[in-house]
Amino acid sequence: MGVMRIVDETGDSTLTWSREDEQSVVAAAEMFTRLAAKKHLPFARAAGAPADEAELVRHFDPEAEEIVWVRPVVGG
Amino acid sequence: MGEAGGRRIVAAPLPNVVAVEALPDGRKVVLFDDRGTLKEIVFGIAAKSAPTMPRVSLPDRRANELLESLLDAEQLESWRRDGTFWVESRRGPVQLGRLYSLLHHPVDRPDDEVVLCVVPEGYDTLPRADIWSNLVLVLSTCPDAFFDVANVMGVRRRAR
């Protein structure tokens, strides 16, 4: 079971998938594509691992435990 | 202007206020530009202990859970103590936790403390802790993306 946590105004929205459930994998892959098109940044990590162990990823991997989506950063 | 304990109080606005940030203990930090030098003043009296549990909205609670899951033990202790924490990067550590006022100790300028401003796009729609989750991930894993967009708000001598 994998989970996407998408930082937003609700704190974060979540989307889960299971490798045994093909529909959930397809839905997660589509979400990945949509968010990437919006230039959001996906960081994969082992569940609960600190930020310095996360990795910026370019493609959806159904084997990932957790993908945290954040927004691009700008100068304030 | 007002009266307090028989004393006459005159309130004058601080010039060139850059940011005002609430501290977890109830005090406020005002960051202002004093003729080219950024300075801070802390107002208020720190609460010794919270008399009641503060009400925290669900988005804020969820955002805080995510942030705390991203911090190591030292960062977590600092975050819970004063609402700030330091993040190591190859360009030097950066303190997150005060909006518009991120302290940076550049590795190549050991005497300087640089005040940076970096935010996520649309940050004003995010719970505050999500802003720090966003920045700690970017800073920890791709620091160039952080520093390339950072606005320098000021430079001062680093306290020793």
What would the pLDDT profile of B100-143 be if each residue is shown by its tens digit?
999 999 999 999 999 999 999 999 999 999 999 999 999 999 99
- What pLDDT is attached to residue B52? 52
- Beta carbons of B134 and A70 less than 8 Å apart: yes
Contact criterion met (CB below 8 Å) for B150 and A75: yes
d(Cα B70, Cα A3) in Å, to the nearest integer?
15
The model's confidence at residue B1, banded by pLDDT at 50, 70 and 90, is very low
- What pLDDT is attached to residue B41? 76
Query: What residue segments make up the domains of chain B, in order of their start?
Result: 56-157
Residue B41: partners with Cβ closer than 8 Å, 6 or more residues away: B14, B29, B30, B32
Residue A22: Cβ-neighbour burial (10 angstroms; 0-12, 13-18, 19+)? exposed
Q: Which two tokens stand for residue A5?
A: 């946590």
- Beta carbons of B71 and A7 less than 8 Å apart: no
Q: Which two tokens stand for residue B52?
A: 């009641």
All residues of chain B having their beta carbon less than 8 Å from the beta carbon of residue A67 are: none
Mean pLDDT of chain B: 85
* Beta bridge pairs of residue A67: A4, A44
Q: Is the pLDDT of residue B20 over 90?
A: no
CB count, 10 Å around CB of B69? 18
The number of C-alpha atoms within 13 Å of B46 and in the hemisphere containing its C-beta is 8
CB-closest option in A43, A56, A73 to B120: A73
Mind telling me how many Å the CA of B101 is from chain A's nearest CA? Answer: 10
pLDDT tens for A10-68 read 888 999 999 999 999 999 999 999 999 999 999 999 998 999 999 999 999 999 999 99
CB-closest option in A8, A56, A75 to B141: A56
Predicted ipTM of the assembly = 0.95
